[in-house]
Structures are given as C-alpha cells and as structure tokens.
A = this chain, B = another copy of it.
Amino acid sequence: MTLRTIYDLPTPCLILEQEVLQNNLDRMDAIAKAGQVNLRPHCKTAKSAEVARRATANHSGAIAVSTLHEAEYFLTNGFTDILLAVGMVPSKLPRIDRLQRAGADITVILDSVEMARALALKARDLSKPLPVLIEIDAELHRTGVPPLAEELTGIGAIIHASDILRLRGVLAFGGIGYDRDSLNGIAAAAERVRICAVTAAGRLRAAGLPCDIVSIGATPTRLAGASLEGVTEIRPGVYVFMDLMQQALGVCGYEDIAVTVLASVIGWNRAEQRVYIDAGALALSKDQGMARPGKLYAPYGLVRSPESPFPFENVGVTAVNQEHGYVSRINDKAPFPFDAFPLDSRVRIIPNHVCHTAACFDRYYVIDAEGLVVDAWDRDIGW
C-alpha cells in the first residue's frame, strides 16, 4: 500500500492509530498476567482479525464473539477457540455444526432450564461435543441466572447429564460497572461481579458438577483494579479501542482512544451557528453514550482536529441526520469558531461508544504515530 496521509482518504471513514491500540493491548495483557487469568478478548468491538491477532499475541488465541457471523469470520482467519457469548437457541445449531466441522472449538452459553433441555435434545445431531457455560446474572438483570437461584444447579445437572453437551463453567458480564461514578465505585462493582461468578461456580462444584471456567467480562470493571480471585478468564472488549464513555468513567484518557471517524466539513450555517460534516447517523451511529457530570459531552461525539488527540473545548456533534452531522457549541452560547472549520477541511470525531460507531464501517484505515496511513484492515459486518 502506498504511504498516504489521512488527507488522501475518502470521508467518512474509520481511522485506527496502531500505537494507541498496542498500548491498550499491552495494558490489558499486564492485567491478565498479574491476575494469572486467561485473556479472551471480546471481538465484538473490533470485529477485526488483525486486531484479534495482536490482542491474542501473547495468549492462547482464545476469543469471544457475539454473532455466528463473527465466529465464521474469525474461524476463516485462523481462530479456533471461540466463545459465542450471546444466548444460544437450537435453531442456530446447523451453523454451529458447520463451524465445528470446519475446525472450530466453539463454546455456547445458556441461562435457563428450558434452553438446557432444548439444547440437550437438539444438539444430538452435532458431530462433536458442545461445550457450554451457564450465564450468570451479575446484578445487571439482563440475561443470566442469579447466582443464588435454585435452578442454577438444575441447569448444570441437565447439561452434565447430556451425551453431547459439556458443562465447562460459568460466565458473567460486568455491565454494572457502567453505572458507577468513580473508579472506587467501578472497583466495588467489579467485586460484586466476581462474587456472583465465583458464588455460582462454587454452588455448581458443591453439587458435584464440573466448573473449570469462571469467565467475567467488561472493560471498566477490569481496569479499575479489582481482585481476580477465583476467576479463570477475563473477556474485555472495548479496551482495544477505548472511547468517550471509558474516558468519562476514568479508566482511560483522550490520548488512549485509538479509533475516530474522519469527516469533511461540507457546509456552514452562520444563522444557526453550526457547521455540517459528512459523518451523520450512518457513520457515527445514533448511540448517544452517556453524559457524566463535569465531563465534556455531546450526544454523537466530540470533535478533534486531524492532528491533536484532544477534543475542541465546548464543541461537539449535537445532532445527526442520515448523512449530515451537526457540529455546534456545547455548554455555552459563545459564537461558533467557524475559522477552525474551513469548508472542505477535515475533522476527527471521537466516538462516545466505539462498538457502535466502528460497526458502521467495513474497514479500518490504520495510521502510524506520524499520521501516515500504513494499512487497511477489514472488519466483519452482518449476521
């Protein structure tokens, strides 16, 4: 690939800074090593084989995904140890069968007696045993069995009694960390998540059931410095790229955010005191992240110049239509700094929630520390 600058790229597009990525990977590597746990990156964020290769460089190559399409994509790219970390249903077994026959060692999750029974019945046609983790509700009250629920051991027993399912352990998601206001609060949430997972694992073992794996997920709870006692595996996802939600939570700085959207200024509206960029709802997503008291916030992301890692003060993407982004003042009524946004100039949008923004694109343009475009990496799209 010819070396180019970001001014040679079409807009809108996704830019990935490779040094920032590597720093983020090194940081989580050190946490996994210090905690003596397996690092299984959740590849739903990056959906990229090149990112996954770097994220698993010092590890077993194990990954987590959230769709069967991701599983197929990563298998094609040489990854075999794949955890599908969204609830399994029997109608998806034919694709699991094809994945297994193509060489995947795929693990699925479930959270109910009904699904354990249904899978035990319908998975019989698989050519290989199917490893299963029981999803535990770590106080988020989304999916998962509460750790003290009576049915937990019943689910385990059904899986264990099956000829084709293999009970491997438990899985919990640390989503409650996103609701905390301080690093101490996030660390306390992380401890709640750990206790939920370890408690569930203990109950399964006490019932004479196998439970080798205790897997916990989420980036902020992991970075807040909590204990990993009794945990065998961590499954963070966003840490590879970071975003404004992570920055607002206090687990990274602006300079740690590896992915931004490059956009062109396509119009000025002096009367309305705003400019328009060619990154709208389809390029930024309509995920608004979450505002944090005292933190710079705009619903669709902050704006930086192409060169600085830091956002403009009090300027953000305040509205979007399909292909229009509205850039205006936030927090005050000062005049909009039009001079900083010439027509046809470039800006970079720092995403609130990078999983959703990155999902708008089919590739990353990778840049080095000098801002030169050194590669283009594909990313998976679809189901």
* Cβ-defined contact, A322 with B356, below 8 A: yes
The secondary structure that dominates the A interface is: loop
- Docked pose: A383 CA to B114 CA in angstroms: 44
A285 proximity list for chain B (CB < 8 A): 281, 285-286
The complex is assembled from copies of this chain, and their number is: 2
Instruction: State A361–B112 Cα separation when bound (angstroms).
Output: 30
Q: Is A118 an interface residue (CB 8 A)?
A: yes
Min C-beta distance of A370 to chain B, whole Å: 21
A30-38, A82-90, A156-164 - interface stretch? A82-90
Q: Are B272 and A141 in contact (CB under 8 A)?
A: yes
Are A11 and B114 in contact, with the CB atoms below 8 A? Answer: no
Task: Please provide the chain A residues from 283 to 326 with a CB less than 8 Å away from any CB of chain B in the complex.
Answer: 283, 285-288, 321-324, 326
Give Cα A68–Cα B12 distance, bound, in whole angstroms: 11
Q: How far is the CA of A379 from the CA of B1 in the complex (A)?
A: 28
Which of B91, B264, B267, B286 is within 8 Å of A264, CB to CB?
B91
Partner of A89, one of B87, B282, B343: B343
Interface bracket on A: 35 or more
Given A89-B344, A343-B115, A382:B362 Cβ within 8 A: yes
Which of B269, B288, B359 is close to A143, meaning CB atoms less than 8 Å apart? B269
A268 in the interface, Cβ–Cβ < 8 Å?
Answer: yes
- Within 332-383 of A, Cβ neighbours of B (below 8 Å) are at 343-344, 355-356, 359, 361-362, 381-383
Contact A286 B287 (CB under 8 A): yes
State the CA gap A323–B87 with chains docked (Å). 10
Is A232 located at the chain interface by the 8 A CB criterion?
no
- Which residues of A59-114 have CB atoms within 8 Å of chain B's CB atoms? 66-68, 86-92, 95, 111-112, 114
> Cβ of A267 and Cβ of B112 under 8 Å apart?
yes
**With A143-B324, A322-B44 as given contacts, are A266 and B86 in contact (CB-CB < 8 Å)?**
yes
Question: Is A13 positioned at the interface, with any CB of B under 8 Å from its CB?
Answer: yes
Task: Report how far A90 CA is from B266 CA in the complex, Å.
Answer: 10
Tell me the nearest residue of chain B to A342, going by C-beta: B114
Contact with B along A140-153 (1 / 0, CB 8 A): 01110000000000
- Sample of 19 A–B contacts (CB below 8 Å): A87-B266, A87-B276, A88-B266, A89-B266, A90-B344, A112-B343, A115-B267, A115-B343, A141-B269, A142-B269, A142-B276, A142-B324, A143-B267, A143-B269, A278-B383, A285-B286, A361-B382, A362-B381, A381-B381
- Additional A-B contact list (7), CB under 8 Å, known A10-B383, A89-B343, A286-B286: A11-B91, A12-B383, A92-B264, A112-B268, A114-B268, A142-B269, A143-B276
